[in-house]
Structure 1
Amino acid sequence: MQKKIAIIGGGIVGATAAYYLSTLPGAQQVKVTLFDDGVGQASKAAAGIISPWLSKRRNQRWYRLAKAGADLYPELIHDAQLGTEVYQQTGTIVTREVPTDLEVLYQLAQKRRQDAATMGEVATLTAAEVQAKVPLLGNVQPGVFISGGARVDGAALVNDLLDRASAKNLTVRHEHVTLTANGQVVTSLGARQFDRVIVSAGAWLKELLAPLGIVADVRAQKGQLIELAVKDYPLQENMPVVMPEGERDFVPFGHGKLIVGATHEDDGKFNLTVDSAVTADLLGSAQRLMPGLTADSLTGVRVGTRAYASDFAPFFGPLPEHDTFLVASGLGSSGLTTGPQIGRLLAGSALYGGTPDWSEYELPLTTYLASSAK
C-alpha cells in the first residue's frame, strides 16, 4: 500500500523535504501532498548568503547544523540539477575597518577551516582588493575572503525543488489548512488522514499545533529587503557577496541585479505591508556602499515573516506524544542555510521512521513544545 505523507508549509524546509521524499530509496512507494497558501513565506522573500563559518554565535549546536547545511548545498544543487541563478559559490567577503578586528576575523576563519573543507580558500583583502572583486562598491573597507561562500535565491530554490518533486510523487495544493484534535488535516475537500505529517509552517506553527493541545515557543518577525538595478559588469557575474561591517548584506546576482537587506522587525510580526521608512533605510545602507546610487534604481521590495524561538535556535523532529507528526520551526534569519539539512533529515524520518538522535544539532523538542493542559 502506498504511504501518504502531507507537508504543511512549502518554504525551504518543506520544499527540501518534498524533494528528498521524491528521491530517497523507497520514494516510489510514497505519495506526497504539500499544502501552502503562499502568504508571507520567508523563504520565497529571501535572498541569502550561505557562509556560516565566521558567525560569532556561541550556540555550537546551531553552528554544526549551519555548517552541515552549507556542506549539503553543492550536493543538493548538483543532484537536483539547479542552475547558477539559484545558487552559486561566488565567495563571501566580511569587512572590518579596524586592522586588529580584521586579524581576529582571519584567525577565526583559519580555525574554522580546519574542519570545514567547504569554506575553500581564506585570505585577507585590502580595500583595493575588495573593490577589484566587487567593482559595484564605492565605499570600501578591507575584509576576509572565503571562496566557498555562496549566494542563493530563496524563491528560485523553493520553486525548482518543488518542480523536481512534482515530476515524481508530489502534489502541491495552494490552500490554507488546519489540524483536528485527532490529527487529521482539514483541507478544502474535507478532513484527510495521512500516515505522516511534516509541519514546516514557520511562524504559523503555533496556530497549527493548538488543536493538538501543543503550545509552541515561536514568535513572528517581519523581514524586508530591496532589489536594485545597478551597472552590469559582464565579466563580473561571479562577484562575491559582501557582509559589510555596520551595513546590510550586499548580494550581487549579476546581470545588473543587486539585493540589499534584510531587516529584523520584531514589531512587524505577520504584517506584510511594505514600509517606506524601512525601504529608505535599506536604500541608505546601499548608498553608503555605492555613493552614486539613487532611488530610481529601486526595482522591488520583498517582505516575509520569519519564525524565532526564545533562544533563537531552530528545532525540528518527531512531535512528542503524536507519532504521526514531525515539526520544524525557529529557523530565523539563517533559514536558507539550515533549512535544507533540516528538510533532508525530516524526509528520512518520515519515510523510514525510527527515533533519530539529532542532539548534535538541537536541544530536546520539549524545550520548545509543551502541552496546553499544563
Structure 2
Amino acid sequence: MQKRVAVIGGGIIGATAAFYLSYLDQSQSLSVTLFDDDLGQATKAASGIISPWLSKRRNKRWYALAKQGAAFYPKLIADAKLGPNVYQQTGTIVTRKQPDDLESLYQEAMIKLQHTPAMQDVELLSAREVGRRLPFLTNPPAGIFVKGGAKIDGRCFIEELLKQAQKQRLIVRRQRVFFDKSGQIRTSMGLEKFDTIIVATGAWMKGTLKPLNYLVKIRPQKGQLIDLAVNPLRYRSRLPVLMPEGSSDIIPFSQRKLVVGATHENDGGFDLKATAKAQTLLLKNAQVFDNRLKAGQIMQTRVGTRAYTDDFAPFFGRLPSNPNILLGGGLGSSGLTTGPIIGYLLAKAIVDEQWGHWEAFTRPLSNYII
C-alpha cells in the first residue's frame, strides 16, 4: 500500500520537496500530492542570485545551509533537466564602497575559496575590468568576481520543476487547503488523511498551523523588483550579476531583459500591489551604474511576499508533537539559495525514513513554533 504524502505550498521548498519525493529511487512507494493556490508566492515573483559566500551575514548555521544550497544546485539542475532559461552559472561581481573593505573582502574570499569548491575561482577587478565584464554599465565599480555564482528565474524554476515531477508521479492541485484540529487536511473534496505532510507555506504558515494551536513566529515582508527592456546590442549573453553594496542587485538575465531588485518592505505585509515608489527607487539604484536607463524601459514590476523570522534565519524539521508533519520556512531574502536544499533534505528524510541531524543548519523548531 502506498504511503500518502501531502506538500502544502508550491514555492521553492515545496516544489523541490515534491520533485524529489517523485524522483528518488525509493519513492515508488509514495503517492505525492502538492497543494498550492499560487497567491503572492515569493519564488514566482523573483529573479535572484546564487552566491552566498561573501555575504555580510555572520550566522554560522545560515552560512552552512546557504553554502550547501549553492553547492547543491548543479545536482538539482541535472536531476530535473532544467535549461538556461531557469539557471545560468555566469558568475557574480560583489562590490564594497571603500577600497580597504574591498581588499579585506578579497582576502576573505581567497581563504574561503580553499575549502569551497563551488566558488570555482575569485578575481579582484578594477572598475575598468568590471566595465569589460559588464559593458552596458556607464559607471562600473570595482569588485570581486566569483566564478561559481549563478542567477535563477524563480517562476521558470518552479514551473519546470513541477512539470518534471508530474511526469513522474506528482499530483498538483491548485487550491488552498486547511488543517482541521485532528491534523487532517480540508480540501475541495472534503477531509483527506495523509501519512506525512510537509508544510511550506512561507509567510502564510502562521495561518496554516493555527487550527493545530501552533503559533509561528514569522512575519511577512513585501518585495518588489522591476524588469527593464534593454537594447540587445549593448548586452552579450551570459553576463555576470552585479551585487552592489547597500543597493539593488542588477541582473542581466538575457540580451533583452535587465532585472533590478528587490525591495525589502517590512510594512508591506501581504499587499501585492506594485508601487510607483518602488519602481522609482529601483530605477534610481540601477541608474547609479547605468545612467542611460529610463522609466519607459520598465516592462513590469513583480511583487511577492517573503517570510522572515526574528533571527532572520530559515528553519526546518519535524514537529515533535505531530511527527507526521514537517516544516520548512522563514527563508527571507536567501530563499532561492536555501530553499532547494531544505526541500531536498525533507524529501530525503521521508523517502529514507531516517530523520537527519540538522543542527548545523537550523536551530530547533521550538525557537520558531510554540
The 5 A counterparts of 1:55-204 are 55-204=55-204
Q: Aligned partners of 1:99, 1:168: CA distance in 2, in Å?
A: 52
Q: Aligned partners of 2:145, 2:10: CA distance in 1, in Å?
A: 33
The 5 A counterparts of 1:1-374 are 1-233=1-233, 236-370=236-370
| Residue identity opposite 1:105 in structure 2 | L
| Residue identity opposite 2:134 in structure 1 | V
| Residue identity opposite 2:208 in structure 1 | L
- CA distance 1:235–1:274, change in 2 (3 Å): closer
Please identify, of 19-28 and 5-14, the stretch whose mean Cα deviation from structure 2 is larger.
19-28
Given that 1:307 and 1:329 are in contact with CA atoms closer than 8 Å, whether structure 2 keeps it comes out as yes
Q: Aligned partners of 2:232, 2:189: CA distance in 1, in Å?
A: 49
Q: Aligned partners of 1:86, 1:121: CA distance in 2, in Å?
A: 23
Normalised TM-score (structure 1): 0.97
Given that 1:320 and 1:366 are in contact with CA atoms closer than 8 Å, whether structure 2 keeps it comes out as no
| Residue identity opposite 1:127 in structure 2 | A
Q: Aligned partners of 2:172, 2:328: CA distance in 1, in Å?
A: 19
Unaligned runs of 5+ in 1: none
Find runs of 4+ consecutive structure 1 residues off by over 4 angstroms.
none
Distance apart, 1:41 and its partner CA:
0.2
Given that 2:88 and 2:150 are in contact with CA atoms closer than 8 Å, whether structure 1 keeps it comes out as yes
Q: Aligned partners of 1:44, 1:160: CA distance in 2, in Å?
A: 12
The percent of aligned pairs where both chains have the same amino acid is 52
Q: Aligned partners of 1:352, 1:146: CA distance in 2, in Å?
A: 35
SS of alignment partner, residue 316 of structure 1? strand
SS of alignment partner, residue 333 of structure 1? helix
Unaligned runs of 5+ in 2: none
Given that 1:233 and 1:254 are in contact with CA atoms closer than 8 Å, whether structure 2 keeps it comes out as no
| Residue identity opposite 2:321 in structure 1 | E
Given that 2:235 and 2:255 are in contact with CA atoms closer than 8 Å, whether structure 1 keeps it comes out as no
Aligned length: 370
Q: Aligned partners of 1:52, 1:98: CA distance in 2, in Å?
A: 20
Normalised TM-score (structure 2): 0.98
Q: Aligned partners of 2:351, 2:33: CA distance in 1, in Å?
A: 14
Distance apart, 1:355 and its partner CA:
3.1
Over aligned residue pairs, what C-alpha RMSD do you find? 1.1
Q: Aligned partners of 1:4, 1:76: CA distance in 2, in Å?
A: 24
Deviations 1:303-338 (A, max 9, x none): 000001111000001112101100111000000000
Distance apart, 1:81 and its partner CA:
1.0
Distance apart, 1:29 and its partner CA:
1.5
Q: Aligned partners of 2:68, 2:233: CA distance in 1, in Å?
A: 33
